[in-house]
Structure 1
Amino acid sequence: MVWEELKLEGKVALVTGGGRGLGRSMALALAEAGADVVVAARTRDQIEQTAAEIKKLGKRGVAIPADVTVWEQVQSLVDQVVSMLGRIDILVNNAGQGLSKPLMETSAEEWTAVLQTNLTGMFYCCKAVGKYLLAQRSGKVINIASGLGERGLPNSTAFAASKGGVIQLTRCLALEWAPYQVQVNAIGPGWFPDSPGGQESRRYGERLERFIPLGRRGRPEDLQGVVVYLASSASDFMTGEVIFVDGGVLIHA
């Protein structure tokens, strides 16, 4: 019976930033669990490749180019999802932008770009999808946060501030939408080379691994089981939480 709760047959998911890295991996995991999946990003070629992989799994895979920092594009994206697939049940807010730079070297434009993508874009997506989830009184929102939303790190002010905002957005929305049986949770990846915040991981490579209790950096597949759990009925009594998938970094720091 427990495996039945993890199945996503008949569900429709939207994954932003779904063309590569963690977003692609999570989109494929949702499809393997039975969901039809729409992937969105600014780069058409990448999301079309992901959509093709989803189709090979026997599910409907759709690629829709969109910039999450533009409200009108987000509205159009979500309306297209519902028009093409008939509904929307799962939102994975994965689109993100990293920045590794001291505060005094960070321009106002760089600060704004990171916050606009990582936090405002997530707000836009939640608002556009929320219209449908609240009306149907069911749904799952999965926001991609970061361990840096909980702990500080030099040269990460803009990124860490944006991810701290993501965590609070998750908690506040979880309370607002609980009466509608919509669960809002977050995943906090640690050092993943393919994540928006992975510059430090790529730059320092193996030197970072001694700070990770499990002794290695993350791999895209490390998020697959977590995202399926949070998207499924198995997590119906869980909301407002952040699951950190970081090899133990936060408890070790």
Structure 2
Amino acid sequence: MSEQLKDQVAIVTGAGKGIGRAIALTFAREGANIIIADKSPQLASQTYQAIKAIGKKAIAVTTDVTQEESVVEMVRQALEVFGNIDILVSNAGIQRRYFVADLPREEFQAMLDVNLLGAFLTCQAVLPTFYTQQQGNIILIASDSGKRGYAYNSAYCASKFAVLGFMEALADEARSYRVRVNALCPAGVKTDMGKMLQEADGTSVNDTYFMEAEEVADVALFLASHQSRAIHGQAINVYGGVDYRLTR
């Protein structure tokens, strides 16, 4: 079977663990060269070693998506090593749960900074390359919380609703440059971030109905591939075949 992303170059932010790591490995198995962008050099290195072990090319770049200089440097290194960029997966994100009445302003700002500002900065940094080469593919990892508000998740929901609005606006702009822009909206996923979630009473969130990160990665692969060439400006639900809302 031919590799769906053979010789393409893909940036994946937050690729040190969770959904980002799963996407990076899935894309690498399909022939892509990967820029592993993560704030943690240790986690980025672990993903790099995993990609190297399957015989594929990658570089690990310590990246803070909330800092413009860091993002610009990451893109510079990608172009220096690989010569071009074909795919951006803006995945880096954080989630913390609070009652609105108890939500510290700094926590609200942190979720906006990573989830929304980070998406903006990474997209802005790759767009000149995409527009010049008249092709590119941007995949934003949003959330079902970008479509429906949930108690104790006001800041996270606000950031992800904003990501979907940003995606739609960017998709409208980028269309004439032959750059596709879409978003994935997963429900619960079995990641470290998911395991850290707690209910308002302090008990752990029931994750028995959560998806594996690889399930999300496979949908990201579809969006990155030629098979999805007719899809643009869409926010695709990724619910793992389960109506998770009935389990709450």
Residues 27-52 of structure 1 deviation map (CA, whole Å, 9 limit, x = unaligned): 00000111000111111011111011
- Whether 2:230 is the aligned partner of 1:237: answer yes
Match of 1:246 among 239, 243, 248: 239
State the 1:232 CA deviation. Answer: 1.2
1:163-217: per-residue Cα shift (whole Å, max 9, x none)?
00111111111110001111101111111131646614882225xx5xxxxxx21
Please list the CA deviations of residues 3-34 of structure 1 after superposition, one character each: whole Å capped at 9, or x if unmatched. 76x71112000000000111100100000111
Question: Counterpart of 1:94 in structure 2: which amino acid?
Answer: N
Distance 1:170 1:197, change over 3 A: farther
Could you tell me which residue of structure 1 aligns to residue 52 of structure 2?
A: 55
Q: Under a length normalisation based on structure 2, what TM-score does the superposition of the two structures give? A: 0.92
Q: Aligned letter for 1:243?
A: I
CA distance in 1, matches of 2:134, 2:245: 36
Which residue pairs with 1:125 in the alignment?
122
Paired with 2:151 and 2:141, the residues of 1 have a C-alpha distance of 21
CA distance in 1, matches of 2:10, 2:34: 5
Letter in structure 1 aligned against 2:7: G
Match of 1:217 in 2: 210
Q: Secondary structure at the match of 1:9?
A: coil
Q: Distance in 1 between matches of 2:90 and 2:238?
A: 16
* Secondary structure of 2:56's aligned partner: coil
Work out whether residues 147 and 250 of structure 1, in 8 Å CA contact, stay in contact via their aligned partners in 2: no
Instruction: Name the CA distance, whole Å, in 1 between partners of 2:87 and 2:113.
Output: 22
Unaligned runs of 5+ in 1: 210-215
User: CA offsets per residue over residues 58-101 of structure 1, 9 Å max, x none?
Assistant: 22111000100001111111111111111101000010011111
**Aligned-partner SS, 2:204:** helix
The partner residue of 1:188 within 185, 189, 196 is: 185
Is the contact between residue 190 and residue 213 of structure 2 (CA under 8 Å) also seen in structure 1?
Answer: no
Query: Which of residues 138, 151, 155 is equivalent to 2:152?
Result: 155
Contact 1:25 1:221 in 2 (8 A): yes
| 1:213 matched residue in structure 2 | none
The runs of at least 4 aligned residues of structure 1 exceeding 2 Å deviation read 195-198, 247-253
Q: Cα distance 1:123–1:250, how it changes in 2: closer, same or farther (>3 A)?
A: farther
**What is the match of residue 65 of structure 1?**
62
Structural RMSD (CA): 1.9
Aligned residue identity for 2:23: M
Percent identical: 35
1:8 has 2:5 as partner: yes
TM norm structure 1? 0.90
1:44/1:64 contact within 8 Å kept: yes
Q: Distance in 2 between matches of 1:80 and 1:104?
A: 43
Structure-1 separation of matches of 2:132 and 2:194 = 34
Distance change (3 Å), C-alpha of 1:142 and 1:244: same
Partner of 1:100: 97
How far residue 251 of structure 1 moved from its aligned partner, in angstroms, is: 7.8
Stretches of structure 2 that go unaligned for 5 or more consecutive residues are none
Q: Pick from 18, 21, 41: which aligns with 2:38?
A: 41
The answer for the alignment partner of 1:76 in structure 2 is: 73
Task: Tell me how far apart the structure 2 counterparts of residues 115 and 197 of structure 1 sit (CA, whole Å).
Answer: 18
**1:164 partnered with 2:161:** yes
Is 1:145–2:142 an aligned residue pair? yes
Q: Is the 8 A contact 2:38 2:63 kept in 1?
A: yes
Residue type of the alignment partner of 1:241: Q
Q: Deviations over 1:105-130 (max 9, x none)?
A: 11111111110000001000000011
Distance 1:181 1:84 in 2: 24
